Amino acid sequence: MILSKTTEYALNVLSFMATRNKEMYPAEYLYKELKIPRQYLRRLLTDLSRKGFITSIRGRNGGFVFSRDLSSINFAQVIEAMEGQEAMKTCLLGFTACIIDHPCVMHDLWTEARSKMIETLTNTSLADLKNKYEMDKDTIAQLNNSLIH
């Protein structure tokens, strides 16, 4: 039920980057916006670039950008990359071995719930998130407008 802090940070960073329209995201900027511990964040960013989600650009005016299209990155991929492949493949509750002694009695009890969750995580891309974010912004802007005028 709980992702590691590091995975949460990863989702935070990528979600943030996906919803802003900057050309470049230097670590220092992300640090100020997201308040993730500075050095830890930098390691995480390097890690995310090794994992192929973002690309690092060194030197002055450098920073990080997405290395592929937002629509090709979904939440399940990010979680899997951070937590390890097992995390999404095995029982959602993370049973490393089956509880009882023969083919895990638990598994099919929540197969449905489990697949629903994985489905959502797999079907939701950063592009979807971005769209949702902009729609929300518009709705709020219209609301403010109608209140003021």
Footprint on this chain of its own copies (rule: CB under 8 A): 1-4, 8, 11-12, 15-16, 19, 79, 83, 87-88, 92-96, 99-100, 102, 105-106, 109-110, 112-114, 116-117, 119-121, 124, 128-129, 132-133, 136, 140
On whether the CB atoms of residues 67 and 55 are closer than 8 A, the answer is yes
- Shortest reach from residue 56's CB to its own copies, in Å: 22
Residue 59 tokens, joined: 């030197």
Report d(CA 41, CA 8) in Å as an integer. 12
Which of DNA, its own copies, none does residue 131 bind (CB under 5 to 8 Å by kind)? none
**C-alpha 76, offset from chain centre:** 8
User: Site residues for DNA, window 39-98 (CB under 7 A)?
Assistant: 39-40, 42-43, 45-46, 49, 56-64
Closer to DNA by Cβ: residue 80 or 125? 80
Q: How far apart are the first and last CA of the chain?
A: 45
The 3-state DSSP class for residue 53 equals: coil
* Residue 109 binds which of DNA, its own copies, none (CB < 5-8 A, kind-dependent): its own copies
42 makes contact, choosing from DNA, its own copies, none, with CB < 5 to 8 Å by partner type, with: DNA
CB-based contact 98:26 (threshold 8 Å): no
CA distance 143 to 133: 15
List interacting residues with DNA (CB under 7 A).
4-6, 9, 25-28, 36-40, 42-43, 45-46, 49, 56-64
